[in-house]
Amino acid sequence: MNTDEIVQKVKDLIGEGNFEKAKQFLEEHQDDLGEQYEKLKGMIPDIDAGGLTDKVKGFFKK
């Protein structure tokens, strides 16, 4: 894959809400991306599924 294809794939995964898959794909192609890696990494929201679950549980205990 060339750089443009990798970038598009990451954007597609983000658009679909597959943040973990996007992160994994990005890590696998880090060497191919060079300086674009950091830019793309910043586009992926940091979602802590465990933390989110705890917050939801805490909300319903109130």
Asked if residue 56 has pLDDT above 60, the reply is: no
Whole-angstrom CA distances from 32 to 1, 7, 8, 20, 54 are 9, 11, 14, 19, 37
pTM above 0.75, yes or no: no
- Looking at residues 51-57, what average pLDDT do you find? 54
pLDDT digits (tens, 9 = 90+) for 16-47: 988 889 999 999 999 999 888 988 888 887 75
Asked if residue 54 has pLDDT above 80, the reply is: no
Asked if residue 55 has pLDDT above 60, the reply is: no
> Which single residue is written with the structure tokens 């979602």?
47
